[in-house]
Structures are given as structure tokens and as C-alpha cells.
Chains A and B, each alone.
Chain A
Amino acid sequence: MRFLDQPIEFESLPGHAIPVFAARTTADELAAFCHAAHAAERRLVALWGSDERDREPGAGYALHVAFDLAEGLVCLTLPTAPDQPVFPDMSPAFPAADRMQRAVRDTIGATSEGGDQRAWLRHANWPEDYYPLRRDTPDARFETRNEDYPFVRVEGDGVHEVAVGPIHAGIIEPGHFRFSVMGENVLRLEERLGWKHKGIERRFVGMALAEGARLAGRVSGDSTVAYAWAYSQACEAIADVTPPPRARWLRALLLERERVANHLGDLGYLGNDVALAFGLAQFLRLREDWLRLNAKLFGHRLLMDRIVPGGVAIDLDAQGAEAIIDQCHAIEEDVRRLKSIYDEHAGLQDRFLTTGRITPALARRLGIIGLAGRASAQRWDLRCEHPCAPYDELKPKMAIERNGDVAARALVRFAELGEAFRLVRKLIVDMPAGELRRDLRSAPDKRGFGWVEGWRGDVLVAIETGADGKIRRGHCHDPSWQNWAALEHAVIDNIVPDFPLINKSFNLSYAGPDL
């Protein structure tokens, strides 16, 4: 099978919830495919590396690049040399590839030919020649150290730098932001992330499939359902098991509940960031009610470990279904009233409108995805584009805005809330009966992919098993990888005090892209 008129023969991987195609390729073919995908206005999903030296004598490393094509997920694997491994630079076509390439260099040691060569995930805390994802790298502890990171400097009369973080005045996740400003105007923002490195991908190695589910669910706490589902999809593809229908519907119910909880929180915090604390108090009240029902019905506020490979670990009885429907109605009504307050509040609208604007053209160029992308007219939503069951029956409506400012991102959240309430009700009414979980047995030397539209954007989990059926390489991709780079552009020409608001309107994960 061939795509985009490129001379690469793909094989279709069976057993996946979404169509997945894979192929091995050469560097030139990969570069050509990359440009063809860019020209066809498709997007790069993820990019990661693996160590293949133990497979056969003379083997080196491998670079895996996943694209979103109209046909489904397409994964190209480029084998590289064992010494001095290099791969083509994909950042000219897909700017978001830049940091992923730097992460591959930091963790595997394969380098892109060109592009930014500064370390990304590796701070001075581990030595330059220590590659944590190489299979022969021993566990080690290193002294905590600091280093000077070569930020890009903006020269000029009156230009100065403002450095923020990684430790902030409030209790939030760590990220360093270096602003070059002229007075209050931001000329350039450069992010430095990687303060939350936990070694999750290294931890995956050698885990049984069932064991890895708990780890995958902890990549990013606010997206635990999305990660758990994506991980389960990958495992089910490896074991060639289809989860029972009721389990799939329950999974969608949990995913939509996670989406609602996060959107409610974000809308509150957006109000709070323009000092409208009333909005925060109200939205947090709704979110709290929502989470408490989660805890009551499913035993966990954030729904961690409720989705397991093979099915789900929870069930819903008639009483619970009724409670969910009732709460949906009540909260939807409150959200509707709060929306009209937000819509009619002149001060709030003045702060939201035109702030942190990313035009559709720029969004296309940067490859913004997920919620932030949809606010800039980027029609990426897996639930509509490559719907897996039960989304093929639910037919969710994609929320699209064109302005790309803070107001647009708030509107997309409101629209998705309304749609999620509809989906939750429909999921409950139409939920099939039946078993909840199937047994799952791992298979050796297989690859599985899971791809789920979380509340922030699409989450990709790629799992590869070794000869013993245990995980050989597990990669989790967070949509924040793509959107962090876009945030740097959203801030340009805004004023410094608007940055927290713009940042909150994206609400990206610091932990997710730093495993």
C-alpha cells in the first residue's frame, strides 16, 4: 500500500482500533515523505527513537515518525547506523519536530542533520554521554547541577530580558520562560522545559503489558483517561483482542467526563487570570461536583486506572446512569448561565479578544493541534477524523473557531462542553449490555499503537514488545509537544502581563512532554 504518491510500501497493522500502517524506510525516502505530507497539508503526530543494536549484529538505532494521513496513522521507521547515528531534519516542514528531534538526541543519541542542536530534555543533571533510553545504559545517579542554557538573545536599544520560573510565585508546574521585551511589549519568548523528567519511558522497559497500564495512566494526571485508553488500544493490538462493546462505551463515557472536568477548570482559571474570581469560584464548584460523582460512581476523582487493557475496571448501574444524566442537566444549565455572564462581561471580553492570537495560516504552518488548533480553524479531532468505536456511532460535532485568540479558545471549550454533555447522555442511553473485560495475553515482537483524542489534543501511545512478551519500548506522546512551540508565537506583540492568560488558554502539560 502506498501513500501520497511516495515509493514506500506500507503494510497495514491488524487489530488496531484505528487504521495503522507501518513501513521501514531510508533517510531520503523519509525526507521526501515528510515534504509530501507537508504539501498535502497533513501533520506530524510524533517522533521518537529506539535502540535496536541488540537485534542483530551491525544494527543501530531507529527513528520512528508518525503522520496523520487521511487513511489513518502512518508510522515510518528509519534504521540508523550504530556509530554516529543521524537522521534527516524534519523541522523545515514541521517546526514542531524540532524539540522532538532534540529529545531523541538527548535520550538515544541519534542526531538530526541540521536544526537546533541544543539539549532539550537533558539539563546538566545527567552527563552529555549518558543516554537513558539506550538498552545497555545502566541505572545511575548524578549530582544536581546547573548550566547556562544558550537562549537566543534579542539585541537592540531598550531591549531587555525578563526571566520567569521554573519556580513561580504560585503553586503551578515548573517551566522557564525567557522574554525579550521592550517596555511591556514582548518581542520574543523562549521556553525551556524539561524540569519534570521522571524517566517514565525508561521505566516502561521490561514491564508486563498489564503493569504498564498504571504507568501510562500517570504520564499526565489531567489526561489519565486518554493515556490509559491509548495504552490499552496499543496492548489490545499486540494481543489481538477486541474489547467488548460495553467496555468501549464506558471508555468513551470516562473520556468525555475527563474532558468536561478539565474544560470546567480551565474556564474558571481563565476568569481568575483576568481577576474575575467569581468565575473561578463558580466553575470550580461545578468541577468539584463533577469529580465527586466520579469518585462516587467509579471510585476515583480523576478516573485513574479505570481503563485497563482488555476492557474497563468499572461498571455503571441504572442508579449511577440516572445520577449522571441528572448532573449533566444541572451542570449544563449552570454552564449556560456562566457563559452568558462571560459573554456579556465587557472587562473580561476586552482581555480575551485579540489576546494571544494565532491566525489560521500561522496555525497551519506551526502544526497546532487539539483544542488550541481548533480555535485557529485547524480541523484536527480524532473523534471526527478517524473515529474509533463508539465515536463512529456518536458522530461528535467538531468545535471550530477562526480567531485563534484567548476568546476563541474559551469558546471552543464552551462548545466542547455542550457537545460532551450531549455525548455523555447519548452514551448512557444507548450503552450496550454485556461483558466488561476480556483476557489479554501478550505476544512477542509485536508493535501496537493507541491514538485517542484527549481534552488537550490527540494522545499517541506506541508499544513494542520484546521476545519475552514484555515491553521493549514504550513511547507516550503528548499533544503539548506541538503546542508549546506555538505558544511562543502566540505571545509575540502582546504585553508581558497578558502572558499568564495566554498560557492558561492553551493550558499545556509540563509533565506530558517530559517523560
Chain B
Amino acid sequence: MNFYALFAQLLELIVALILAPMLTGWVNQCRAWMQNRSAPPLLQTYYTLSKLFHKDVLLAHNASTLFRAAPYIVFSCMALASAIVPTLSTELIFSPAADAIALVGLFALARIFISLAGMDVGTSFGSLGSRREMFIGFLAEPALLMVFFTASLISHSTSLATIVETLAHKEFAIYPSLAFSGIAFMMVSLAENARVPIDNPTTHLELTMIHEAMILEYSGRHLALIEWASCLKLFAYSCLGIALFFPFGVAQAFDPIALTLASAILVAKLALGGFTLALIETLSAKMRVFRAPEFLGTAFLLAVLAMLVHLLLEAGR
């Protein structure tokens, strides 16, 4: 069993590291098509990453160790997060070690480090971005936790593997609670991944940036790691959404065929998810910063509603 769990764990990590930039590339491609533009190649993100890895790192004179360490910490957090989420298999080495709450903690840890790094050099944009990031973060995290709590209540466990296993094995029934928390989760994902309508990942207007403002001072491999980490974060969130709300097809026992099938299904689901994200981004405009509390407040409300609905309607089942 341990051998299989180790293998599945490694496979999942590698798949995440490799597939994550492609997911970002796919979203960009879909978005370009929807805007009647000719799209960059699917592998563009890899080219960008490899370009950045080959470039020299330029550091501000007053950059501290924190500034240099942050990209590695953020990257590790996101890689670990992608490893925790049961995408291909529910039998993973890490699954008993880290549960849903630990996952939220991992995202928070990465956020804290990137925000501190944003303020480290002392430029006005860095602190502007860090301030906004923390503002968005403290609104998004409770909503994310509520989504997990609802899922935990359904499966009586906070372990992600157990949640996914339970949800995947339930007899087909419509869970209103899952519908509510699904919408809440989507809204949180948009905010957490710096997408429209909360942030604009393609903007060049430094005054409007949130995520981009914090990393303006990064270059070379540091920037590459942060960009890769962003891809991983989007990947992790997409996989989480898939695992929680569309878990069918996940392999549960050691079975190479099931694992291969699971990989194919995952790719198809991710492609669909990326397309949906591009559609949302194309159709919506960016909100004013101070509309974000309303947006994320709605997400929190929906997540709470999901929990209430579960307790009132579904608890007996």
C-alpha cells in the first residue's frame, strides 16, 4: 500500500508541476480566441518560464534575505498544496498528514511571504499591492474555510482524501449544499488567483495591480518561480474544485488502468474548467477594489448558506 501511495504521490506532484503552466497557457489561449485575437501557443508559459530561468537576477540594493527566500517558499507551498489535493488518487502519502484546514494554512503562508517580500524593497507599488493582497486574503479565507467545513460535514472528516472518496461514492443525488458551496468556491478561486473581476493578470497599469504589484521588483529565476507558483496555485484550485464538486473518475485503489483513466479524465476536466474561467474573464469587467468585500462577502454568505442547508435538509441522510 505504501509503495502505491508513494508512487501516486510522486506522480501527482510531477503531473501538477508539468501540467500547471499548460493550464495557464490554455486559459490564455481560450481568452484570446474569445476576444477574436490570435492566441499564443499552448506552451507559451513554458517558454516564458525557461526564458526567465536563463535570465540574471537583478536585486534592489536594499533587498533582504526575505526577498530572496520568498520565491522559494511560495513555490514550495504551492507545490505542496498541489500534492495534497487528491486529483488522481485518494491514496496518497500526504493525505493523513495534511487536511483541508492545513491546505488553507499553506495558501495563507505563501500569501504572507509574498506580501512581506512585496514590502521588503520599500517601493510604493510593492506595499500598495501587499496591502490589497492582505485585504482580499482576509475576506477570501473565511469563505474558503466555510466551503471546506460544509464538505467536511457531509463526509464527517476534514481529510481531503476522505472527503473526495465520500463524495465520489455517494449515490447520485442532488446536494443543494454542494451547489451553494460550489458557487462560493468559484468566487473565492477568482479572487485568490488574481483573476478578473478582482484583479487583472494581464494589466500593465501599475496603479490597478494587486498580485502583479507585489512582484514588480522580481526578475530572473525568482520571477520564474513566482510565475510557476501562480500556475500551480491556479492548478491546485482547479483540482480542488474538481475534487470537491466533480470527483467522479478518481482512482481509489492500486490499479494502473484506473490511474491512467483518472489522468485522462483530469485533463478533460481541467480543460473544461480553464475554458469556463476564460469565459468568466472575457464577460466581466474588473470591479473597483472596494467592491471586493461585497463580492467575497457574497461568497462567504453562500458558503454559510450551504452549511445551513446541509444541516437542515441533508443531515439525516
Contacts and interface: CB of A to CB of B under 8 A. Distances in A.
A497 B36 contact: no
Given A169-B216, A275-B196, A275-B203, A351 B286 contact: yes
B168 interface: no
Interface string B197-217: 100101111111100100010
Contacts of B205: 169-170, 273, 500
B216 A497 contact: no
B253 interface: no
B288 A285 contact: no
Nearest to B123: A163
A205 interface: no
A278 B287 contact: no
B223 to A, nearest CB: 14
A168 B204 contact: yes
A345 B286 CA distance: 12
- Residue from A184, A276, A277 whose CB has the most chain B CB atoms within 10 Å: A277
A281 B37 CA distance: 7
B35 A281 contact: yes
A271 B197 CA distance: 13
A161 interface: yes
B3 interface: no
B282 A278 contact: yes
Nearest to A170: B204
Interface string A487-511: 0000000011111100000000000
Contacts of A169: 204-206, 209, 212, 216
Interface in A152-203: 160-164, 168-172, 184
A405 to B, nearest CB: 13
Contacts of A172: 204
B208 to A, nearest CB: 4
A162 B126 CA distance: 11
A348 interface: yes
A414 B284 CA distance: 21
Contacts of B281: 275
A468 B34 CA distance: 62
B192 to A, nearest CB: 17
Contacts of B233: none
Contacts of A160: 124
A230 to B, nearest CB: 33
Given A170-B205, A184-B289, A496-B207, A277 B128 contact: no
B172 interface: no
Contact of B285 (A275, A285, A498, A500): A275
Interface string A270-284: 010111111011100
B285 A351 contact: yes
Contacts of A184: 289-290
B128 A496 contact: yes
A56 B307 CA distance: 91
Contacts of A345: 285
B206 A495 contact: no
Contacts, number: 82
Interface string B99-140: 000000000000000000000000011001000000000000
Contacts of A72: none
A162 B124 contact: yes
B76 to A, nearest CB: 28
A452 B203 CA distance: 35
B208 A161 contact: no
Interface residues of A, number: 33
Contacts of A127: none
A494 to B, nearest CB: 10
A179 to B, nearest CB: 8
A340 to B, nearest CB: 15
B51 interface: no
Nearest to A274: B285
- Residue from A163, A278, A285, A350 whose CB has the most chain B CB atoms within 10 Å: A278
A273 B197 CA distance: 12
A274 B36 contact: no
B291 interface: yes
B100 to A, nearest CB: 31
A347 interface: yes
Contacts of B291: 350
Nearest to A495: B289
A133 B2 CA distance: 84
Interface string B30-49: 01001111000000000000
B288 A495 contact: yes
Given A350-B288, A351-B286, A277 B35 contact: yes
Interface string B282-317: 111111111100000000000000000000000000
B208 A497 contact: yes
A161 B202 CA distance: 26
Nearest to B195: A275
B155 to A, nearest CB: 36
Given A497-B289, A500-B207, A282 B36 contact: yes
B124 A348 contact: no
A285 B38 CA distance: 12
A351 B128 contact: no
Nearest to B205: A500
Contacts of A281: 35-37
Contacts of A168: 204, 206
A459 B289 CA distance: 38
A164 B209 CA distance: 13
Nearest to B35: A281
B128 A348 contact: no
Interface in A391-450: none
Contacts of B285: 271, 274-276, 345, 347-348, 350-351
Contacts of B200: 275
Contacts of A171: 204
Given A348-B285, A351-B288, A498-B288, A277 B31 contact: yes
- Residue from B125, B200, B281, B291 whose CB has the most chain A CB atoms within 10 Å: B200
Contacts of B282: 277-278
Nearest to B283: A278
- Residue from B206, B209, B212 whose CB has the most chain A CB atoms within 10 Å: B206
A275 B205 CA distance: 11
- Residue from A168, A170, A184, A345 whose CB has the most chain B CB atoms within 10 Å: A184
A177 to B, nearest CB: 9
Interface string B13-36: 000000000000000000100111
Contact of B128 (A162, A273, A498): A162
Contacts of A163: 124
A233 to B, nearest CB: 38
A278 B288 contact: no
Nearest to B284: A347
6 tightest CB-CB pairs across the interface, nearest first?
A: A170-B204, A347-B285, A275-B286, A500-B205, A281-B35, A275-B200
Given A162-B125, A281-B35, 10 more contacts: A163-B124, A168-B206, A169-B205, A169-B212, A184-B290, A271-B285, A277-B282, A278-B34, A282-B35, A285-B36
13 contacts: A161-B124, A162-B128, A164-B207, A168-B204, A168-B206, A172-B204, A278-B282, A281-B35, A281-B36, A347-B285, A351-B288, A496-B128, A497-B208
